[in-house]
Amino acid sequence: MARRSWVEQIMGLPVSVLARGDGAGSGDAEAAVREVFAELSEVDRVFSPYKPDSAVSRLARGEVSWDGVDAAVRDVAARCVAARELTGGLFDAEVPGGGWDPSGLVKGWAVERAGDCLRKVDGVDWCLNAGGDVLVLCPSGEPFTVGIQDPRDPGRVVTSVAQTGGAVATSGTAARGAHLYDPRTGGPAASRWLSISVSGPSLEYADVLATAAFVAADGWPEVIEVLPGYPGLGVLADGTLFATAGWGG
């Protein structure tokens, strides 16, 4: 099949799109990808805690109230509350010191939403990868092979999984160090697991569950069981892999 790929740096990470099929080189495909990049750039503008003019930063400084932000920001806030309840508090956008950082949910939510731009193009399979969190759309029924990065060596994969649809999300400390915190202690998440990957129908939920599972440390298999259809894979420091039922199936 014909293939075409695009990549841009957005949200501080590489976002790549792979198109496969007769329409991969079409103007419609090009326009859809540009729409995806524009959508994700707008999400970064609104939600980045590192941009001083973002809604998140303005809320943190008290320059705007919840009534003064876009409806999308309030929607994400509600989704973060639901994610906290779903995971028993292991996922929490309320950070130590009283701030609000929805980054652990926003990426999956935004990529899932941006996927709607790609679904409008007939006859094309898509693989959208945002810094290792992957959304797959395969109307042809032919799977993409999604590699799971080795957390000990970013240039290698530890295994792969065939996906004809849905998502794969990975959480850990390999790429960004100890950036995840444990809401139970208020300190950095500590785990002997180097990464946890979760697959499932929704990238938003897969991303939330992967984050909560990593925070849970050895209890991570029970965490992802709160939603059916979201199996997981853990990688230990010695390279040992542990998969829950349904992974790769």
Which pLDDT does position 199 carry in this prediction?
98
pTM assigned to the model: 0.93
> If you average pLDDT over residues 83-100, what whole number do you get?
90
pLDDT tens-place string over residues 108-165 = 999 999 999 999 999 999 999 999 999 999 999 999 999 999 999 988 999 999 999 9
pLDDT tens-place string over residues 76-91 = 999 999 999 999 999 9
CA torsion, ordered 132, 137, 141, 142, to nearest 10 deg: -40
Q: What is the DSSP letter of 224?
A: H
Which pLDDT does position 136 carry in this prediction?
98
User: Would the CA dihedral through 56, 173, 95, 223 be positive or negative?
Assistant: positive
Helix (H, G, I), strand (E, B) or coil at 111: helix
Neighbouring-strand partners of residue 186? none
CATH class of the structural domain 3-243: alpha beta
- Least Cα distance to 54 among 118, 101, 104, 110 occurs for 101
- Of residues 114 and 177, more confidently modeled: 114
Domain extents for the chain? 3-243
73 — phi, psi (to 5°)? -70, -45
